[in-house]
Structure 1
Amino acid sequence: MKLKLLTWDVKDTLVRLTCSVGEQYSAVAKSFGIHLEPKVLESSFHKVYRVQNKLFPNYGLNRGLSSQQWWTDVVKQTFRHCGINEDCTLNFIAENLYRDYSMVKNWEVLPGVQETLYQCRQLGLRLAVISNFDQRLDQILDHCNLGHHFEFILTSEMAGVAKPDVQIFQKALLMAKVMPQHAAHIGDNYINDYLGARDAGMQSYLIQQGGYHDSCERQVPKKHILQSPCQVLTIFERE
């Protein structure tokens, strides 16, 4: 079946952070006179993030939160768990981090991505993004010189639902006016990307730049595993 639409995940599929969360949090905190080890902040962040995402999934949209409020709470709780409780300072740190994570200095485009997206378009494929991200994603992709490749960028904040919910994939298909059998999705998460898209009737492929990562992913046929974005083009060579 000829593909017409190719949708992409973003983080760790097209771009990645230039440094760890702990390193970035530590650097910003240092500018406010707070000295904490990156590994301490990294550990605290992951604990807080898991709880926050469970209590307020998809940035707490159904609970009346904005994504910036959601992230502000994550940052403040991360530092509070490390013994920092000055609310005014924590607000400033949270504001700086929220702004900084939309800047190109904190992101790098993965090798081969720019060329792959260009070649996909040359083949006549329509490209779009489906990502569990917030409203900053358009700005991030533009700053990384990737935004122009996509017809639209659908974030979970915009859609009101997050992957792997089939509704976010269905919304993308409606926006593109493409039937699911004519669309494929590419991402690095087995549940959110690979299974989510297939549950919506799309084809899907799993990017695993370091090989298989867990037992679930061993259920994915080898022909659906891509070692890098560059290998996407082999999909069309097989057709």
Structure 2
Amino acid sequence: MRHKAVFFDVGNTLLYPHPSVEAVCVEVASRYGYLAGLKEFSRALSVADGYYLQRYETDDSFWMDENKAVSMWVDFYELLLREVDIDGDARMIAQAIYDEFGKTKRWKLYPDVITTFEKLKSKGIKLGIISNWDGRLPELCLELGLSKYMEFIISSALVGRVKPQPEIFKLGLEKVGIEPANVVHVGDHYYADILGARNAGITPVLISRESDLNIEDSNCLVIKNLFELTKSNLF
């Protein structure tokens, strides 16, 4: 068996917002008397997503600091709220939305996650999580039942390193004591996960759950779910 450990990203790899980002925004805004609907928030989300991508591509260092990560997300939700014409209370509600996503009930595991973990563990493969996430990640993983499968959980904001920096992957390698050539990393983001893992000498696997992702010259396995990972020839 060549690969002895698998590292995982979190968002859009292991879990997703429940029932959706838009639905949570509708619910929280309604607590403050604002009745914008799902369609309005869906349109606004595309604008906020554009803001996130521009900020991430310009300088992703906010993921290395808890305060900066929180500020980025509150900015994100404030922009989203202003796009649906919520102005006066936007900052306060944006903070409330951010706080809401710290609750376990706002996240759901994909149905293939636990089965995949159990199958990999039964083969003696060590598992870990490396994610660009705020400091709430360890508690979230504990409450979702992921921690018991993991050798470690690394949140970028807590260690001061960010994917795709090889240093954050090296922290995981130190935790499991396995050479990078014997490790796989699974994630949904080409820049952070695929390039990051490859730069650390780790075998990257790109997961695309929602669409037929076809990145030319990716030079890595592309899967649509984790069942395809366990059926691959990596183990």
Tell me which moved more, 73-82 or 190-199: 73-82
Q: Residue 21 of structure 1 aligns with which residue?
A: 21
Q: Residue 228 of structure 1 aligns with which residue?
A: 225
Q: Residue 3 of structure 2 aligns with which residue?
A: 3
Q: Residue 145 of structure 2 aligns with which residue?
A: 145
Counterpart mapping for 1:1-239 below 5 A: 2-36=2-36, 37-54=40-57, 57-59=60-62, 61=64, 65-86=67-88, 89-210=89-210, 212-214=212-214, 217-221=215-219, 224-235=221-232, 239=235
2:63–2:162 contact (8 Å) kept in structure 1: no
Cα distance in 1 for residues equivalent to 2:224 and 2:91: 40
- What is the deviation of 1:53? 3.3
1:26–1:41 contact (8 Å) kept in structure 2: no
For each residue in 1:113-166, what CA deviation from the matched residue of structure 2 results, as whole angstroms up to 9, or x when unmatched? 101101211111111001111112122222222221111111221232322222
For each residue in 1:151-186, what CA deviation from the matched residue of structure 2 results, as whole angstroms up to 9, or x when unmatched? 111122123232222222122212333221121111
Q: Structure 1: state its 5+ residue gaps.
A: none
1:212–1:218 contact (8 Å) kept in structure 2: no
Instruction: Please report the TM-score for the alignment, with normalisation by the length of structure 1.
Output: 0.84
1:48–1:78 contact (8 Å) kept in structure 2: no
- What is the deviation of 1:16? 1.4
Q: Percent identity?
A: 25
Give the partner amino acid of 1:126: K
Give the partner amino acid of 2:74: T
Instruction: Please report the TM-score for the alignment, with normalisation by the length of structure 2.
Output: 0.85
Q: Partner of 2:141: helix, strand, or coil?
A: helix
Q: CA separation of 1:76/1:211 partners in 2, compared to 1, >3 Å: closer, same or farther?
A: closer
Q: CA separation of 1:97/1:21 partners in 2, compared to 1, >3 Å: closer, same or farther?
A: same
Q: Partner of 2:231: helix, strand, or coil?
A: helix
Cα distance in 2 for residues equivalent to 1:53 and 1:192: 11
Cα distance in 2 for residues equivalent to 1:33 and 1:48: 26
1:4–1:125 contact (8 Å) kept in structure 2: yes
Q: Structure 2: state its 5+ residue gaps.
A: none
Cα distance in 2 for residues equivalent to 1:163 and 1:141: 19
